[in-house]
Amino acid sequence: MRITMEDVASRAGVSRALVSLAYRDRPGVSTETRDRILSAGRELGYVPNRVAARLASRGGNTLGVFLQDLHNDLFADLFEGSRTVADGAGKQLMLGVGALDGGRDAEVLETLAQSWVDVVIAFGLQMPDAEVREMAERVPLVCVLRGVADIDSVVSDNRHGARAATRHLIELGHREIAFLANPPSDGYMDRRHGYAETMTAAGLRPRVVETTYSRETAAADAGALLDAGDPPTAIFAHNDQAAMGVLDALFRRGLTPGREVSVVGYDNSSPSKVPGVALTSVDVDGVALGRSAAELALRRIASPMAPAEWRTSFPTLMVRTTTGPPLP
């Protein structure tokens, strides 16, 4: 049987209420009995029960956090940012991890909602807007990296980032620039649009090839692109993971990124920072986004009925070694 407050109380010769106060060191307990209680607890090996505590105190004081994928360290930055402000506000965090293909979004969000969290901060949801909105009726939601109308959202302007990346390639002299796009079903279309409109504005032909979030698939799709007639001289990938796949495809063919073919990624995640083949990438400043998200979450707790707030930040292009002028 598990040791409860009751046991500690009787061992220390006091009431349960005092034990409770003592363990949360709240005023109303003399220093002497407090010590007696704590040492009684220690002797018994008492471990306070947070589940019961949360029930008794009517839940709350906890933020739910959904992370799309632990393999992408952008999410580590996002989490770090949120944790900083959560710590400052004395809020606990409860984590849920999704899957690369979005297949666990609903399930994880549901668990978080049922866990009596005040708000769920969702980093990188992929489920349809309609479902997101549906979820938001069950728990307050802060959507990050993904803007959803009428829902608190923290987004980085993907269109802006994609424009900058595309412009960079055009300015280097590239004319055949392909975009390796994420699946259109997940709601992230701005990078594609930013790319396409910049190409069109420059009088160039947009070439969109759809791929997935997996490095392997991206390598295969990029490979097909390279092997076909009229290969592009530059490839802009929807994120770094896909860009790694592009690099794989290049190296497999003996091509050097930044020379025969330029490559740009998106997210500025850790693999892009490897020296040598340092990937030119768009930096979204995950830590800042994470902080913003947590701030919105706190605001939502403070005023549950406030109208939804959107925060938009602007990413910056990090030019590294995988982009250069096209060969003559």
Partner DNA sequence: TTGTATGCGTTATCAT
Partner DNA sequence: ATGATAACGCATACAA
Give residues in contact with a second copy (CB under 8 A): 45, 47-52, 54-55, 59, 67, 69-71, 73, 75-77, 79-80, 83, 92, 94-97, 111, 113-116, 137-139, 244, 247-248, 250-251, 257, 270-271, 273-277, 279
Residue 266 to residues 26, 97, 109, 160, 164: CA-CA distances in angstroms?
49, 21, 26, 12, 11
Give the shortest CB-222-to-a second copy separation in angstroms: 12
Q: Pattern of binders to DNA over 240-269, x per CB under 7 A?
A: ------------------------------
Neighbouring residues of 168: CB distance < 8 A, sequence distance ≥ 6: 264, 280, 317, 319, 323
| Residue 115 binds to DNA (criterion: CB under 7 A) | no
Asked if 315 and 285 touch (Cβ cutoff 8 Å), the reply is: yes
What residue 20 binds from DNA, a second copy, none (CB within 5 to 8 A, per partner kind)? DNA
Dihedrals phi, psi of 326, to nearest 5 degrees? -70, 155
Name which position in 42, 56, 70, 95 contacts DNA (CB under 7 A): 56
What residue 32 binds from DNA, a second copy, none (CB within 5 to 8 A, per partner kind)? DNA
| Residue 139 binds to DNA (criterion: CB under 7 A) | no
| Residue 49 binds to DNA (criterion: CB under 7 A) | yes
Give the shortest CB-195-to-a second copy separation in angstroms: 23
| Residue 24 binds to DNA (criterion: CB under 7 A) | yes
Mutual orientation of helices 16-23 and 31-44 as an angle, nearest 10°?
90
Give the shortest CB-268-to-a second copy separation in angstroms: 13
Of 186, 191, 192, 219, the closest CA to residue 207 belongs to 192
Give the shortest CB-238-to-a second copy separation in angstroms: 17
Q: Which is nearer to DNA, 28 or 328 (CB)?
A: 28
Dihedrals phi, psi of 274, to nearest 5 degrees? -65, 125
What residue 14 binds from a second copy, DNA, none (CB within 5 to 8 A, per partner kind)? DNA
Of 121, 67, 123, 76, the closest CA to residue 99 belongs to 67
Of 187, 165, 166, 172, the closest CA to residue 282 belongs to 165
* Distance of alpha carbon 289 from the chain centroid: 9
Asked if 181 and 208 touch (Cβ cutoff 8 Å), the reply is: yes
Which tokens sit at 123?
């980093």
3-state DSSP call for residue 70?
coil
Give the shortest CB-272-to-a second copy separation in angstroms: 8
Q: Which is nearer to a second copy, 92 or 313 (CB)?
A: 92
Contact set with DNA (CB under 7 A): 1-2, 4-6, 13-18, 20-21, 23-24, 27-30, 32-33, 46, 48-49, 52-53, 55-58
